[in-house]
A = this chain, B = another copy of it.
Amino acid sequence: MIAEFKLIEKIKKQFLVTQKNVIGIGDDCAVIKTGDKYLLYTIDSMVQDVHFDFDLPLSWDDVGYKAIVRAISDIAAMGGTPEYVLIALSLRKDFTENMFNHLLNGIELAVKEYDIRVIGGDISSSKIVSITISAIGSSKNTPVLRSGAKIKDDIYVTGYTGLSSMGLYILKEGIKTKKSKIFIDSYKRPRPRIDVGIKLINYASAMIDISDGLIGDLKHILEESKVGAIIEKHLIPVHDSFFKIAPLMRERVYEHILNGGDDYELLFTAPPEYREEIEKLSIELKTKITRIGSITKKGLYIKENDKIVPLKSSSYEHFKS
């Protein structure tokens, strides 16, 4: 099987864009400077049997909602404001009108919540259901790339990671547990950090949204910025709810927090002189923003009980055999 990252590397090479004012493949969005503003473009697919099943656990409302949210989160990750989406639907012959209505309602809920317009679409029949969203956003300020992290920058994360991944685990295993609502909600209805992203454009040196897992996406920043990092385990935020679930599940908590994915929180770096401003921002937007480590020259390490050990990612990769 070909690894996804290898395919992407190939595409990046073959379709290298050397145009002035254009940033092509390799970041959360493509960026085109037009006049005095930046236009942001991204495309993202949700595919049956990969991102959701035809039956449970996601309802069609959830699938529609999540498709939109995943795409606009890429715009948040660059500090942009999402404005428009185009939607390509592939539907199975047994996709009923009722399913279609629910799918549209989920989409409608998301676009209303984030004040976006659906301006175009395409419908095909197919043997599997898939939804591809092309999202368009803009920014007056220079968008935050993955490649801007500098040595000694702080590393921050918004909210909590691992909730969504634990939610999927609970749903898949059919675990009956109280206190599971927050996990399941995080999985079904993730909340992209649009407002935070827009404000962070003034402070962040590099930024990404967490779809592949905290470590997986940190690695993307490190690769693009050609730097390393050290994460302090005791600084990583752990949501209270993780302490309220069964002890057996608790054992794997850090696997979810570090490698879970599907969080749509923002992971970013910023120079230490912005610590105070970022704290103020956190209070202003009522959003937890936690400093979890700092950028180094190279390598990726985690500090735990005064021991520093190399950190390996095992983030989800579609094409891993």
Contact = CB atoms under 8 A, between A and B. Distances in A.
Interface string A119-144: 11111111110101010100000000
Contacts of A130: 90, 124, 126, 130
Nearest to A95: B2
Contacts of A35: 34-35
Copies of chain A in the complex = 2
Contacts of A2: 95-97, 100
A50 interface: yes
Contact of A125 (B22, B30, B43, B50): B50
A224 interface: no
Contact of A19 (B8, B48, B117): B117
A34 B34 contact: yes
Contact of A132 (B10, B15, B45): B45
Contacts of A318: 123-125
Given A47-B125, A88-B132, A132-B43, A22 B117 contact: yes
Nearest to A19: B117
A231 B318 CA distance: 52
B43 A118 contact: no
B84 A11 contact: no
B87 A43 contact: yes
Nearest to A26: B120
Contacts of A125: 47, 50, 318-319
A190 to B, nearest CB: 17
A120 B4 contact: no
A120 B25 contact: yes
A263 to B, nearest CB: 18
A14 interface: yes
Contact of A41 (B29, B86, B88, B95): B86
Contacts of A11: 87, 104, 118, 121
Interface string A80-92: 0000101111110
A96 B7 CA distance: 11
Contact of A10 (B14, B88, B104): B104
A24 to B, nearest CB: 5
A104 B14 contact: yes
Contacts of A32: 84, 119
Interface in A16-45: 17, 19, 22-25, 29-30, 32, 34-35, 39, 41-45
A32 B137 CA distance: 12
A48 B124 CA distance: 10
A90 B91 CA distance: 14
A127 B126 CA distance: 11
Given A24-B119, A25-B119, A45-B90, 5 more contacts: A14-B104, A24-B118, A30-B84, A32-B84, A49-B126
Closest A-B pairs by Cβ, 7 of them = A134-B134, A30-B119, A15-B118, A43-B86, A30-B120, A132-B132, A125-B318
